[in-house]
Structure 1
Amino acid sequence: MDSLTQVVLGGAVGYAVLGNKVGHKAAIYGAILGTLPDLDVFLPYSGEVEAFTYHRGFSHSLLVHLLISPFIAWLLIKYHQTTAIYKNKWFWLVFLCLSTHGILDSFTVYGTQLLWPITEYPFAVSNLFIIDPMYTLPLLLSFIVIFLPSVKPTSASKINHCALVISSLYICWSLMAKFYIDEKVAVALNDKQIKADHYLSTPAPFSTLLWRILVMSDGQYYEGYVSVFDSASDVSLVAYNSSDLLLINLQDDWNVQRLQWFTKGFYSVKEEDHNIVLSDLRMGAECSYVFNFIVGAQTSTGIVKSDIEKVSDRPDLSMLGRVWDRILDPSVSLAPVKKNGVCANRES
């Protein structure tokens, strides 16, 4: 999730654990701890693929959180010696603020290695968009209220608990909405006779009322959007081609194998300007994928490995303005504009 959400979640969890004992300090330390795992983005990784696939690794592991929490709690107690009688609560504050960060991240589509080093498997429930105001807003308001001098600690504590309950209920709603969408799409795929080798549903930007659907099927991938108000007959998918054969000469390359593993099969391969580009289809949308990597080059002698380079497509921000229209009206299209097979946002 975004940094603001992790800060206010950490602050809310910290205050819930120890706010009635140490006051505002619990929320402050909770907010700091809530964003601490994401500092792994500043580590000097050796390459673009490493930076992409090792993010949300050891720093997001629940096992690592469990091991380092006693040490961080000890440091906090050393700095606030008068609170030593709450050492158990300090431990729980640290552990819960760190672990809820990792757990919340696993609700997005990116992938979070919650059980590193036992397994590097990137858990991704994909029931929340990386930025979701409906989840963040109650926690943000509560975080602000905690520091208002006119609000009594008992009232602040009640408001904080209510914010945590509301945000947690929203997660429950998102899981139910995802299940409902998946059931609806399963019917639609059967009606359209589309065999899904891999299937993914993930919320559209800023909402859990509209979901982006991704289906991998026999060298093609299908993309579409489904609203919770749609019927199965309203489900519309657009097919796109992926040239996986371009990877034949690159299949033993570690970078290619790592990207195939991390994307869980949700990737496309295309040749663009003599470059072989592998795109992670899970994040972004057609013509606007967030993570694209040049993994090879087309030469006169065939396809060869090349220096890995990360490239980005310009996002189609106009689509965001149509999201609400699409939620209510299945005839509204969010498919990208292409001219002669080329994405409009890639033209010079």
Structure 2
Amino acid sequence: MDIVTHLGIGACLGEVFAGRIIGKRAMAWGAVVHSLPDIDVVTAVWLPTPAALLAHRGITHSFMISALVAVLLAALASRQNKPAGWSWQRWLVFFWIAILLHDVLDAFNNYGTGWWEPFDSTRIAFNIVYVADPFLSIWPLSACVVLLFAKNDLSRRRNRELLGLGMAVLYLFYCGVHKRVVDSRVTELLHRQKINYSQYLSTPAPLQNWLWYIVAGSDSGYYVTYHSVFDRQGQLSLHYFPRNAYLLAKAKDPAGVQQLIRFSQKFYTAEIHSDTLVFNDLRFGQIIGWQDPTAGFAFYYFPDHPSLNRLTVQRGRLAGWNGAAIRSLYHRIKGR
């Protein structure tokens, strides 16, 4: 999830657990503690980009670390803050749930989260919501704004915080239904169109949950398309991208390339642009791909030019966006 959504959800959690005891300060406690796992972004300062990509949402997002950090914070908080009725165990529950929920929520999008590190490097990604979805964020953020200015009426405050969290949870379930519907339709259409594949990925297109980006393929290459929950057309418009894995053998940094392959969960292609080797991670979608099926991918990395890759994940996400792109997204969401 994006940091704004994490802050909103964390603030609501703080109000739920500690608002009655320490007042509005609980919102700040919750927002900070819930956001702690993202401290790993500082690794980008000194690690090469491929290693930093793997470090983010790695061990700081593991269940083991969430428990250890919660124990440490609970010990510190119980010494510094001793409100009536608050034991060390209650602080522990508060901190552990706040951190654990961050780890769980991050697995709902497509980056991948290292729940089991350091024992298992497998990344968990449910691909249910886009990393920044305003239709999810609006609920906890609205609740936070109201709570900040609301009077200290405990019953009313409790209703508002629970509404903010409850609506966010309902929206996640709503998105899960979309994914189930889209996967059922798309896999059936792929079968009808006699598309053979060993790897399949579906994830929402940017900033919403009605239009979905689809990748299906194998070691030789991938078919890419977009499908709306409102589509009525009984056929997929597919565009094929060859993997070209052999091109990566020429890379000057083979160790970095292997890290990129691991990060991409093997959803990748390679290509040559103007004599420059490019690695594409397909999971992050295309640049305005619903408008142009041949568009380049949002995540692209230059293996032989490390200095050009500091903003690899961010630079393509909203590249090319303008009024026409937004209108085309809206019309594509409405279905064919």
The TM-score normalised by the length of structure 2 is 0.88
1:101-250 matched pairs, under 5 angstroms: 101-150=102-151, 152-217=153-218, 219-231=220-232, 233-249=234-250
Q: Which runs of 4+ in 1 moved over 6 A?
A: none
1:86-97 matched pairs, under 5 angstroms: 86-97=87-98
Partner of 2:319: 315
Displacement of 1:232? 6.0
Structure 1 residue matching 2:222: 3-state secondary structure: strand
Distance, in Å, in 1 between the alignment partners of 2:184 and 2:3 is 32
Does residue 253 of structure 1 match 2:250? no
CA contact (8 A) 2:229 2:335 kept: no
Displacement of 1:261? 1.6
CA contact (8 A) 2:33 2:99 kept: yes
Assess, with a 3 A threshold, how the Cα gap between structure 1 residues 46 and 222 changes in structure 2: closer, same or farther.
same
The TM-score normalised by the length of structure 1 is 0.85
Task: Report which stretch shifted further, 246-255 or 64-73.
Answer: 246-255
Distance, in Å, in 1 between the alignment partners of 2:82 and 2:298 is 47
CA contact (8 A) 2:22 2:83 kept: no
What fraction of aligned residue pairs are identical, expressed as a percent? 26
Partner of 1:72: 73
CA contact (8 A) 1:77 1:84 kept: no
Structure 1 unaligned regions, length at least 5: 297-305, 331-348
Task: Report which stretch shifted further, 239-248 or 21-30.
Answer: 239-248
CA contact (8 A) 1:215 1:221 kept: yes
Partner of 1:48: 49
Distance, in Å, in 2 between the alignment partners of 1:222 and 1:71 is 48
What are the superposed Cα offsets for residues 254-280 of structure 1, whole Å, 9 maximum, x if unpaired?
222221122111111001222221111
CA contact (8 A) 2:241 2:269 kept: no
CA contact (8 A) 2:232 2:335 kept: no
CA contact (8 A) 2:245 2:269 kept: yes
CA contact (8 A) 1:295 1:308 kept: no
CA contact (8 A) 1:139 1:163 kept: yes
Partner of 2:330: 324
Partner of 2:27: 27
Backbone CA RMSD of aligned residues: 2.2
Assess, with a 3 A threshold, how the Cα gap between structure 1 residues 307 and 9 changes in structure 2: closer, same or farther.
closer
Partner of 1:265: 266
Number of equivalences: 321
Distance, in Å, in 2 between the alignment partners of 1:130 and 1:218 is 27
2:303 to 278, 295, 307: 295
Task: Report which stretch shifted further, 27-36 or 243-252.
Answer: 243-252
Task: Report which stretch shifted further, 19-28 or 159-168.
Answer: 19-28
What are the superposed Cα offsets for residues 92-150 of structure 1, whole Å, 9 maximum, x if unpaired?
11111111111111101001101111212111101000111111111111111222243
Assess, with a 3 A threshold, how the Cα gap between structure 1 residues 252 and 315 changes in structure 2: closer, same or farther.
closer
Structure 2 unaligned regions, length at least 5: 288-294
Structure 2 residue matching 1:269: 3-state secondary structure: strand
